[in-house]
Each structure stands twice: as structure tokens, then as C-alpha cells.
Amino acid sequence: MGVIDLPKYELTKEENIKVENIISKFTGIKNALIPVLQEIQDDVGFLPLNVQRKVAEGLGVPEKDVYGVVTFYSFFTMIPRGKYNIRVCMGTACFVKGGKQIAENISKGLQIEPGQTTPDRNFSLEVNRCVGACGIAPVIIINDKVYKKVNPDTVMDIVNSLE
Amino acid sequence: MSTKTKKINTGRDLKDKTEDLIKGAEDKIVISLCSGTGCKAAGSDDVFKTLEKEVKKCQPGMDQEIVLRRTGCHGFCERGPLIIFYPHEICYLGAGEEDIAEIVSETLGGKTVERLLYKTDDDKLVKKEFDIPFYKYQKRVLLENNSKIDSKSIDDYILFGGYRGLSKALCEMDPEKVIKEVKDSGLRGRGGGGFPTGLKWELTRKEAAGPKHMIVNADEGDPGAYMDRSILEGSPHSVMEGLIIAAYAIGASKGYIYVRQEYPLAVENIKEAIKKAKEYGFLGKNILDSGFDFEIEVYQGAGAFVCGEETALIRSIEGKRGMPKPKPPFPANEGLFGKPTCINNVETYANVPQIINKGAKAYASVGTDTSKGTKIFALTGAINNSGLVEVPMGMSLRDIVFKIGGGIKDGKKFKAVQLGGPSGGCIPEKHLDVVVDYEKVKEVGAMMGSGGMIVLDEDQCMVDIARFFMDFIQDESCGQCTPCRVGTRRMLEILTRITEGKGEEGDIEKLEEMAHMIKETSLCGLGKTAPNPVLSTIRYFRNEYEEHIETKKSCKRLHKKAKKKKVDK
């Protein structure tokens, strides 16, 4: 840490068109910055600096404000997520039932830290805030599917079964 | 059930509509399937498809029409998916696709499938939902609809008395009277602070500037809490009805529902609810011919705990970094876009329709001197019956943990209950008879909070729990004020050191000193309450801190897990 080192990602042509379409939908609308970023994050999967620049120009917002918002909220990321985005819930109920061990085991199994993506862009790992599924803790969420009462010892079986 | 959408223009129209719906529902068998987040993870989507097929097969031979409803969270998440057959309220737990054919044919034939019924400790079978101990000791008012109505159907909501409160407020009461009713009811903010709701409304009404705004705070960020999620997912109209009544009382024309990013189903259901309410005329111009206009917009958060703080939430809607502002000015004076704004929590709004319906007096008959009505808790952790519970204020924590929750899992010993999330504290055995009440809970060093109630057993290291919350707060601190940004980091370092077996003499005193400093000098509620989990664990479990420091042992080495004493089933 210390020096900010941001990986550079180039968008594909298609992704660029998507981004431009989203921005143009919101041009002229007040307070649209967060909704625009949310839509791009949803569609493209991440918000690299060149996209942030486009958003700033399109909405007439200073670039520093866009960067400020992107880095403030945890939903936004500047690193592309994997085909399978694995989120480990770290709410209190999941924590006391082994959430920490689950995250550690996936981290070891995939050889990535939380917040990172595997080099083949197949998997990314996130340690999430409470997802509100405390009654069936501990949970992990892969893309949109919730897995309940996950066992730390066998969690890698779930991950391995995805491919 | 394709009743044509007809606008409801007056209170009379609503009455007619309700009567029609009640008539239409007579003599019907209703099968309700929980489709909350917990039951979905337990396979309720597939169960629904099979149910649909089986019902289609059975229907021709039946005199009564069978109605299938996908509902919100029933609460008993531990044992999902849950299926209930009305009118006899027969409740099946944990049914899989393979059980459905049998369940449908047996139950419609007047029998039950015994292996899927609830079994008590002494092996007695319980057929009815509300005879199950988990439900029996609850008082389900806000959650009542959750197991009965299709969460996407406005007609279901109206069938069970929905929008009657709105009709009464708009057609029979002036705004001042609505505010007086809410003040008299004793309703206090359910987001954790406990500020009197009626007073907040009055303050916002008195402001001369306009236009005024309403906000629903659905940024339920406390780890271990999902009450608001379940209300929004299961009964979105009850929140909207409360919101529209509040807007009428205050004189606001626009409302925002700020939902956290982690709750996609809540967003979907509330958007559907808004659409339907517009079609019926409960939103828009001249609602129920009262001359009152109101619009609602849904706004999604982007993942920041601090946005649950009202001034931060307002900044987030304005498209900025969600950083709290000093108060005053309060949102009631100067809120969203600089205009007077009334902001309440989801559960608070959901209480409003019944206050108007039943009257303040009836509402205030439940509860303690200073805390009225019911409160929903997310009862989780090392407990047998995890789930969502609604209890009258004044019930003891012991009753919640042991009667409703069924005691500690695996026959282990109770150690503490964590109440109020990162702003709250841990309550030990000796204070377990404390009752649910804003003030009483504070006296024992916790906080009502939004309603997360996490039960901890003898295996749990209390220093590690304090470290968990400090880690959370450290991560979520917005960073603008030094006590919170730097202070919580220093505290986290000390706590981590202790749990790793590297604690030093004087660490506890340092933690205490810093805790008081952070409490006194932080800018917002997040910082002011951040040290609470540490202070409460030092207060009741100081010996665990000392043991760590003296023996220089880490959590793993110090706390060997107690053996499972009883393996159930």
C-alpha cells in the first residue's frame, strides 16, 4: 500500500457502447451519478478509470467526485469480477458460525485474497457485509444464488463443482 | 384471480373493494409457501413449481378452489421451506420437491403428512402454525401478513385490511389529528435511536419551507439484522401505507425509499407495490379524493454502512459520498436538497397503519411505560430456532432465547446475547431477565438497535466478538473525523493483538480510555457508539481479556470447543 497502483483494463468495443448508452440515458438528470455507476457496474462488471472519465464528462461532474464515489461505496470495484463472483457473508451470525474459516478456506483453495480475481477471470472472492440471511447462517452467495449452512471444510467442493 | 384494475377514488370504493375480495376468498383453500431469502436458499422456488403442478392435478376433483400464494418470510428460517394450508393452518416444515405430491393429496384429503410436522421435545406432533412454540409466544402484528399474502399482490393486502388506515387518515382526519394520534400511541423510532415518531413528524410539519420530503430508511446495515428486509419483501404495501399517511400528516409531496444494495428482492417487490398503488390511486394526484398528492421513488444504496445514518443517507441520495454532517441542523429543518425532511425506519412506518386503524389507545395498551407496541428481532447465532420473531415490548430476553428460540444448540451453555449490532453490547446470563424496552436495555450496557439479537454459547471468545465489531466499524468508518478514523484503528490493533496472544499489561485500560474519547468526540452516531461492544464485553467478561493477556494464548489455543452434549435427531 502507499502508492496507488491501479491495474489498467481496456474495455471491449461492445462494453464501450454499453457504457455510452447508459450515460446518455441519464444525461441532464440531477443527482444521477450513483445510478449511472450502478448500472455500468451491473452491466460491465467494473469501473476502471477510463470509464469514470467518460461518466464525468457525460454528466458534467468533476472526475474527482466520480472517483470519490467509486472508492467510497463497496459495491463499486475497479477490478473486474470473475465469471463466478463468490461472496462470503461476514455478518455477525455468519461470523459466529464459521464465516471467517469459510473465507480463509476459499482464499487458500483459489489462491486469491478477498477483493481479487483469479488470473483466468473465472473466480473472484469478496468478503461481504451482512446479506440478511442470518436465519440460515453461515451463507455464501455465488453470483445470485444463496448457499445456506455452509460447512467450512466442504466449501471448496461447492466452488469446484461450478466448473 | 384477474380482477380488473379499477381506480379506487374514495373511501367508499375501498370499502366495496375489500368486501368483494372477502366474498371472493370465502370457501377457498389457500396454500402459502414461504419465498423469503432463507426459504429460497432451501429450495422454495423448485417446491413452488411442483406445488403448481400437483394442485393442477388435484383441482378438478375438488369442490373448493385452491389458491397458491408465494409469500414473504414466515420467520422460521431454520426449518424452511415452510408450507401452510389454510383455513386449517396446517404447517409443514422443510418439505422438498419429492414430498409435495404426498403433502397435497393427503392434506386435501383431510389427513396430514406426519414426518413433516413440527415435533416437540417430548415427541408430540404439532399441526397448526401458531401452536409451534416458536410462534406461540410471539405477538405477530407487523409480520402477520407475511405468511398470508402474496407479496406482489395488492389485492391480498387489501383483503386483509390494507389501506384502511390510509382511507381513515385521509378521509376522516386532518393532518394535526394524525400527528396527535401517532404521538399518543407512544411509537418510537425502530431504527435504534428510539426518537418519538410523532414529535419528529410535528417538527417537520412546523417548518415553513417547502417542498418537504419523506424518506424511508431501508439501509439495514447492522450485521445480524434482517427485519426490514423481510417486511419490505413480504409486505411492501404496509410500509408504503405508513409512508403515505406520514406524508399527508407532514404535508410532503415526494417520498424516497432508500434500500441497501444487498436486497434485490426487496427492491423488486417495492417497485411492484408502487406500480400497483399508482394503478389503484393510492399514489399520484388527489389520493382518495382528499386533494393530497404524493409520489414515491426507490433509491438503491451502493454498499456503505454509514449511510444508515440519516444525514449520510441524505447525501447518498444527492449522489455524493455518504458522509454524515454535524447536527443541528436536523433533517427536519434542513434535509434532502436543503429542504425539511422526515426520515424514519421501515419498521416504524409499518407500525403506522395499525395505529390509525385501531387508535392510539389500543396500540399503547401493548408494551411498557416508555416503549409501546411490538418489536421484531432477528434471533440468530447458537440457538435452536433461528429466525425472525416479533414480540410485545416488555418480554424478557430469557423468554425470547429459551421459549421462542428453544435454547442453545447442541446442549451447550448460554454465554451472552449480542443486542444492537456494532452500536450495542453483550448481555450476560445475570441480566437475561431484562425486558425489551429502550431504556432498560440501555441500563445493562446494550442498545435496542434495529433488532439484531445474536446468541453466543460457551465456545465464543468475547474478545474476538469485540474485535469482530471493531473490524467492521473500522472498515465502515467514513474517515472524515479523526477519533473514529484513527481511534477505531488503534482499538482494533489492540484487540487483534490480544486475540493473537500478544496482549500486554495495560491494554484493557488503554482500550477503555480510547473508547471514552471516541464516544465523546466523534461526529456521528457511528463513531459515538462504536466502542460499545468493547466496553460491554470488558464490563461483563473482563476475565477473558485478562486471561488472554496473562497466558499469552491466542483464541484458538485458549478456547477449546465444548463437546456437543446432545445430538438432536
CATH, range B26-137: 3.40.30.10
Span A12-61, pLDDT tens digits: 899 999 999 999 999 888 889 999 999 999 998 899 999 999 999 999 99
List the Cα angle B175/B180/B183 in 5-degree steps. 130
Do residues B90 and B55 touch, judged by C-beta distance below 8 A? no
Interchain contact, A37 vs B380, CB within 8 Å: no
Mutate to test the interface with B, among A42, A55, A72, A127 (most CBs of B within 10 A): A72
Query: Helix, strand, or coil here: A62?
Result: coil
Which of A48, A46, A49, A57 has its CA nearest to residue A20?
Answer: A57
Q: Is pLDDT above 50 for A125?
A: yes
Q: Is pLDDT above 70 for B63?
A: yes
Pairing relation of β-strands B254-259 and B213-218? parallel
Q: Is pLDDT above 60 for B2?
A: no
Query: Helix, strand, or coil here: B437?
Result: coil
Is the CB of residue A150 less than 8 Å away from at least one CB of chain B?
Answer: no
Interchain contact, B319 vs A134, CB within 8 Å: no
Domain locations along chain B: 26-137, 154-364, 374-457, 462-558
pLDDT band at residue B567 using 50, 70 and 90 as cut-offs: very low
CB contacts of A55 in chain B (<8 Å) are none
Q: Reduce the secondary structure of B42-106 to three states and give it as a string.
A: CCHHHHHHHHHHHHHHHHHHCCCCEEEEEECCCCCHHHCCEEEEECCCEEEECCCHHHHHHHHHH
Interchain contact, A134 vs B221, CB within 8 Å: no
Q: Is pLDDT above 50 for B448?
A: yes
Report, as an integer, the average pLDDT of B47-66.
91
Pick the CATH number of B154-364 from 3.30.450.40, 3.40.50.11540, 3.40.1160.10, 3.40.718.10: 3.40.50.11540
CB contacts of A144 in chain B (<8 Å) are 264
Residue A2 host element (H or E): none
pLDDT at B565: 60
Interchain contact, B41 vs A90, CB within 8 Å: no
Q: Is pLDDT above 50 for B15?
A: yes
CA A19 to chain B, closest CA, distance in angstroms equals: 18
* Candidate from B72-86, B170-184, B334-348 with smallest mean pLDDT: B72-86
Stronger pLDDT, B5 or B506, i.e. the higher one: B506
pLDDT band at residue A9 using 50, 70 and 90 as cut-offs: confident
Interchain contact, A65 vs B320, CB within 8 Å: yes
CATH topology for B374-457? Ubiquitin-like (UB roll) (3.10.20)
Report, as an integer, the average pLDDT of B117-144.
94
CA B237 to chain A, closest CA, distance in angstroms equals: 20
Report, as an integer, the average pLDDT of B5-13.
90
CB contacts of B37 in chain A (<8 Å) are 131-133, 146
Interchain contact, A130 vs B478, CB within 8 Å: no
Measure the CA–CA gap between B321 and B307, rounded to whole angstroms.
9
Is the CB of residue A60 less than 8 Å away from at least one CB of chain B?
Answer: no
pLDDT at A8: 66
Interchain contact, B465 vs A72, CB within 8 Å: no
Is the CB of residue A137 less than 8 Å away from at least one CB of chain B?
Answer: yes
Task: Search chain A and give the residue with CA nearest B299.
Answer: A35
Do residues A85 and A144 touch, judged by C-beta distance below 8 A? no
Measure the CA–CA gap between B302 and A36, rounded to whole angstroms.
11
How far is the CA of B528 from the CAs of A47, B253, B443, B452, in angstroms? 33, 34, 17, 19
CB contacts of A129 in chain B (<8 Å) are 221, 223, 262, 303, 305, 472, 476
Cβ-Cβ contacts under 8 Å between A and B: the total is 135
Q: Is pLDDT above 50 for A134?
A: yes
Span B210-254, pLDDT tens digits: 899 999 999 998 888 999 999 999 999 999 999 999 999 999 999
Which of B317, B313, B296, B227 has its CA nearest to residue B266?
Answer: B227
pLDDT band at residue B564 using 50, 70 and 90 as cut-offs: low
Please name the residue that has the C-alpha cell 490493533: B493
Measure the CA–CA gap between B462 and B445, rounded to whole angstroms.
15
Span A70-96, pLDDT tens digits: 999 999 999 888 899 999 999 989 999
Is the CB of residue A156 less than 8 Å away from at least one CB of chain B?
Answer: no
Measure the CA–CA gap between B324 and A69, rounded to whole angstroms.
14
B194 conformational bin, left if phi > 0, alpha if psi -120 to 50, beta if neither: left
Measure the CA–CA gap between B311 and B478, rounded to whole angstroms.
13
pLDDT at B6: 80
pLDDT at B569: 38
Is the CB of residue B318 less than 8 Å away from at least one CB of chain A?
Answer: yes
The partner residues of B433 in beta bridges, in order of sequence, read: none
Do residues B92 and B86 touch, judged by C-beta distance below 8 A? no
Span B410-429, pLDDT tens digits: 999 999 999 999 999 999 99
Q: Is pLDDT above 90 for B132?
A: yes
Mean pLDDT over the full length of chain B: 94
Please name the residue that has the C-alpha cell 446442549: B411
Measure the CA–CA gap between A34 and B315, rounded to whole angstroms.
11
Chain B residues 397-456 with CB within 8 Å of chain A: 418, 421, 452, 454, 456
Task: Search chain A and give the residue with CA nearest B379.
Answer: A135
pLDDT at A7: 61
Measure the CA–CA gap between B224 and B116, rounded to whole angstroms.
28
pTM, two decimals, is 0.94
Report, as an integer, the average pLDDT of B92-97.
95
Q: Residue B12: which residues within 8 A CB-CB, separation 6 or more?
A: none
Task: Search chain B and give the residue with CA nearest A91.
Answer: B223
Share of chain B above pLDDT 90, in %: 89
Please name the residue that has the C-alpha cell 447508459: A22
Measure the CA–CA gap between B256 and B267, rounded to whole angstroms.
12
Is the CB of residue A96 less than 8 Å away from at least one CB of chain B?
Answer: yes
Secondary-structure class of domain B462-558 per CATH: mainly alpha
pLDDT at A3: 44
pLDDT at B1: 45
Is the CB of residue A43 less than 8 Å away from at least one CB of chain B?
Answer: no
Q: Is pLDDT above 90 for A129?
A: no
Task: Search chain A and give the residue with CA nearest B389.
Answer: A135
Q: Is pLDDT above 50 for B403?
A: yes
Segment of B6-10, B261-265, B387-391, B555-559 carrying the highest mean pLDDT: B387-391
Q: Residue B175: which residues within 8 A CB-CB, separation 6 or more?
A: B205, B248, B249, B250, B251
Measure the CA–CA gap between B504 and B58, rounded to whole angstroms.
71
Measure the CA–CA gap between A55 and A44, rounded to whole angstroms.
14
Residue B38 has a CB neighbour count (10 Å cut-off) of 33
Report, as an integer, the average pLDDT of A131-152.
91
Do residues B33 and B83 touch, judged by C-beta distance below 8 A? yes
List the Cα angle B524/B530/B531 in 5-degree steps. 130
Span A32-41, pLDDT tens digits: 999 999 999 9
Span B150-201, pLDDT tens digits: 999 999 999 999 999 999 999 999 999 999 999 999 999 998 889 999 999 9
List the Cα angle B156/B161/B167 in 5-degree steps. 115
Mutate to test the interface with B, among A130, A150, A158 (most CBs of B within 10 A): A130
Q: Which of B221, B321, B382 sits opposite A96 (nearest CB)?
A: B382
Please name the residue that has the C-alpha cell 434532502: B336
Long-range contacts (CB closer than 8 Å, 24 or more residues apart) made by B111-115:
none
Measure the CA–CA gap between A114 and B523, rounded to whole angstroms.
30
